[in-house]
Chains A and B, each alone.
Chain A
Amino acid sequence: MNELGIEITLDEYVVEVGERITGRLVRWPDTDGVTEKSKVRKIELSLRYKTVGRGDTNTAAVSTQEFPCDQHGAVNAVISLNVPNGGPISYDGRLIRVQWALEARLDIKLARDPKQHVDLLIVPRNGFTVYDRPHPLAP
């Protein structure tokens, strides 16, 4: 857990293209919900890639899921996000690196929306047992 009060637990942190990311998202209540209602309206979870390196950054959210919070600001829900078939996969090249992460964004009423990231490794199909780091494999 962190200062946002969000706990993201995934079944796997290495996921093949075309597969589904599954796990659980928990946010603990920040108010009692009776004398004071939480300002957190929802949590938006998105699967994103980002390029890093010499070129200008390309980033995109490929799959998103929304979790409405209750009046205490709490959530306890199942994560289920699709990884696209065509990639790009996690990659560590010479000019280009591709990084994948889950981004949780707290939607807070009349306030800046804080974010939290969980890094992931997206690997080729049939590569689940082969990869422990971004492509390419070691020679």
Chain B
Amino acid sequence: MHGSGRPITLEPQGVGAKLLQKTGAPMAIPIVAFVALFIFGLRGALIALIAGALVLLVLGLETIKAAFVWNEARLEIPQAVFELGATPTVRYLRDTKKPRDIGRCVVKCTLSCRETVTYRKGTDTERERTTVFSATFESPGVGTANGLEADIPIDIPVTGGSPSFELANNTVEWFIHTVVEGEGLPKDEQRFDVQVVPVLHKAPGRLQDS
């Protein structure tokens, strides 16, 4: 078995969400615009404001709203890598910036496997992607002293994509998308990259069933 037995904490992928939650980018935009007003005048301040608004639009409104109230989501996985046919339980954790009541909610985890290839076409390099496996698992979320928590059992398929590998032009990657559904809860999505290794989980009954 891989891993040391202690859960591994994953951070979400994507520069946008991290930037917002770690640097407080929505707050920074008016400050930059104010500084630009003194250095470059009204025109400079306007350009800074428009550029900031465009950046926030690209990053997503839900991500912006969530960044004001919630800290970055984390995903705890029982070991560093997943085996084919395993049924691990992952833990979704989301801390609030201020204490708040957590109502009834559901945390959804979508496990996906994606093939990515690149190929030369003339002088250009083309990239093609396809999702070869996708399954959604969900569990109710519960409020804790720090925020929101949910334990979600997931299935790593033996009938889905290949274990993870990365070659120069051919890659297979696995990731988990999380989203929370409930009143007053963050609507933004996170992506967590996970590794699936070429090991069949030892559960013979399970394999015979498939």
**Chain A residues with a Cβ under 8 A of chain B:** 17, 51, 53-58, 86-89, 91, 93-96, 98, 123-127, 130, 135-139
* CB proximity of B195 to chain A, nearest CB, Å: 10
- Asked if residues A87 and B119 are in contact (CB atoms below 8 Å), the reply is no
**Cβ of B178 < 8 Å from any Cβ of A?**
no
- Asked if residues B172 and A93 are in contact (CB atoms below 8 Å), the reply is yes
* Interface size class, chain B: 20 to 34
* 21 sample A-B contacts, Cβ–Cβ < 8 Å, listed by A number: A53-B170, A54-B117, A55-B119, A55-B128, A55-B170, A56-B120, A56-B168, A56-B169, A58-B169, A86-B198, A93-B115, A94-B132, A98-B162, A124-B84, A126-B199, A126-B200, A136-B160, A137-B159, A137-B210, A139-B159, A139-B210
The interface residues of chain B lying within 8 Å CB-to-CB of A17 are 198-199
- Asked if residues A136 and B170 are in contact (CB atoms below 8 Å), the reply is no
- Asked if residues B117 and A87 are in contact (CB atoms below 8 Å), the reply is no
The interface residues of chain A lying within 8 Å CB-to-CB of B117 are 53-56, 95-96
- Give Cα A138–Cα B169 distance, bound, in whole angstroms: 26
The interface residues of chain A lying within 8 Å CB-to-CB of B84 are 124
- Asked if residues B170 and A135 are in contact (CB atoms below 8 Å), the reply is no
Q: Mark B167-204, 1 if CB is under 8 A from A, else 0.
A: 11110100000000000000000000000011111100
The interface residues of chain B lying within 8 Å CB-to-CB of A135 are 162-163
- Give Cα A107–Cα B134 distance, bound, in whole angstroms: 48
With contacts A93-B161, A125-B199 known, is A57 near B169, CB below 8 A?
yes
Other than the given A86-B197, A93-B132, A135-B163, 20 more pairs (CB < 8 A) read: A51-B167, A53-B117, A55-B117, A55-B119, A56-B168, A56-B169, A87-B165, A88-B165, A91-B162, A91-B172, A95-B128, A95-B170, A98-B170, A123-B198, A124-B200, A125-B198, A130-B207, A137-B158, A137-B210, A139-B159
The interface residues of chain B lying within 8 Å CB-to-CB of A53 are 117, 170
**Cβ of B4 < 8 Å from any Cβ of A?**
no
* CB proximity of A96 to chain B, nearest CB, Å: 5
- Give Cα A87–Cα B81 distance, bound, in whole angstroms: 14
With contacts A54-B117, A137-B210 known, is A86 near B165, CB below 8 A?
yes
Q: Mark B119-141, 1 if CB is under 8 A from A, else 0.
A: 11000000011101000000000
